[in-house]
Amino acid sequence: MGKIIINTPGAHSEILIGENWQSVIRLLPENGVVIITDDNVRRLYGDRFPKVPLFAVPPGEGSKKLEVIERLAEKLLEAGIDRTGFVLAIGGGVVCDLAGFLASIYMRGIRCGYVSTSLLSQVDASTGGKNGVNLKGTKNMLGNIRQPEFVICDPSMLLSLSEEEYLSGLAELIKTAIIGDKDLFDLIERSHKEIMDRNCDLLTVLVTKSVTFKALVVSEDEKETGLRRILNFGHTYGHAVEMQKSVKHGFAVASGMELATDFSFEKGFISSGERDKIVNLLNRFGLLETHNIPDDQIDQLILHDKKKTGTDIHFVFTEGIGKAIVKTVSVGEVIGFYKRFRDKK
């Protein structure tokens, strides 16, 4: 088992990789614990959950709404949870988002921890403290940053994922490699069969590498005022694809990474060879979605991007595999590139 620490001015968070998820019982307080999960995870693992009050939501992005947070808060109140309470999320990115946001606002904030059950959550969503819900057609518009006390990443839980869910998480793993770890990119590139076979030893290595990089970034810039922005590589266009096509997050981000990579090439930041390596790897795992967002929709989706400041966006480019750079680009230029990319396809 590996332990990775995130230290920020207001929190200490431990990510435990390779630990059996059922050992979570030793990390919980004796009283006041509730579990937030979804119906799929409860069906698969619920009989082995700690015996505490449990509240399940429907799986998927549709549960990331304020109405769901309100209903869950009412359940906590009915269960007698007070300011000493503890919210345990057992699930993927949506569940961790909901539980983290709920814990951060219930009675002005109670403790929380996660058992991360999906690859996307293990390599990205459960680490770093971001949480939130969607607002109409805008992704993660309402939320905050609050570090969980712990995250358990048990690779054996990834064996129960559907292929679509598993590959969705792989996209975020590839993102980490592109922006900060060329060795990780090379390992993914030469390990196609083992990754598709879900080799648990290899998955432990991959998750550890991804979380280690993200922990370093978050420890330096928890509030995303500088370095942490690089973690949004592929997400400006990716969120637009996700909201317009209603596809899983990782597939949308993969399409966003293809766009950002091509944009980087157009700007002269990378060679055609490196662009092709990135796009070929995304294609090899079947991650790229077709998308043809109409002019009026792409305009609105980009204008609502959280990374927008006035008429500009902090856009993440790649300067080569393993290196990212953030540039201030006008909203009009970001929209214009999408339209050029779309029309040449």
The pLDDT of residue 34: 98
Domains delineated in the chain: 2-160 (3.40.50.1970), 163-344 (1.20.1090.10)
> Within 13 Å, how many C-alpha atoms sit on residue 110's CB side?
20
Cα separation, 174 vs 167, in Å, equals 10
Instruction: Identify the helix (H) or strand (E) that includes residue 284.
Output: helix 272-284
- Tell me the per-residue pLDDT of 208-252, one tens digit each, with 9 for 90 and over: 999 999 999 999 999 999 999 999 999 999 999 998 888 999 999
Do residues 103 and 130 make contact, with C-beta atoms less than 8 angstroms apart?
no
Q: Residue 343: which pLDDT band, with cuts at 50, 70 and 90?
A: confident
**Confidence band of 72 (pLDDT split at 50, 70, 90):** very high
pLDDT of residue 139: 86
For residue 64, which of 107, 35, 102 has the smallest C-alpha distance? 102
* pLDDT (0 to 100) of residue 318: 98
22-61, pLDDT tens digit by residue?
A: 999 999 999 999 999 999 999 999 999 999 999 999 999 9
- The arithmetic mean of pLDDT across residues 166-194, rounded, is 97
Indicate if the pLDDT at residue 137 is higher than 80: no
What does the alpha-carbon distance between residue 86 and residue 25 come to, in Å, rounded to a whole number?
12
Mean pLDDT across 156-173: 97
Over residues 291-317, the mean pLDDT reads 90
The pLDDT tens digits for 98-110 are 999 999 999 999 9
pLDDT the model gives residue 336: 96
Amino acid at 276: D
Q: Is the pLDDT of residue 345 over 80?
A: no
